[in-house]
Amino acid sequence: MAKYDCTKCPGYCCSYPAIIVTKRDSERMAKYFGMTVEAMEKKYIRSAYGFSRIMKRKKDKYFNKICQFFDTEARRCTIYEARPAGCREYPGKGSCGYYDFLTFERDAQNDKNYVSTTHHED
Residues near ligand SF4 (CB under 6 A) = 4, 6, 9, 11-14, 19, 55, 67, 69-70, 77, 79, 83-84, 87, 90-91, 96, 98-99
d(CA 15, CA 88): 15
- The least CB distance from residue 11 to ligand SF4, in Å, is 5
- The least CB distance from residue 81 to ligand SF4, in Å, is 10
In angstroms, how far is the first alpha carbon of the chain from the final one? 34
- Hey, what amino acid is at 4? Y
Residue 87 burial class via C-beta count within 10 angstroms: exposed 0-12, middle 13-18, buried 19 and up = buried
- The least CB distance from residue 46 to ligand SF4, in Å, is 13
Residue 32 vs 42, nearer CB to ligand SF4: 32
Residue 6 vs 45, nearer CB to ligand SF4: 6
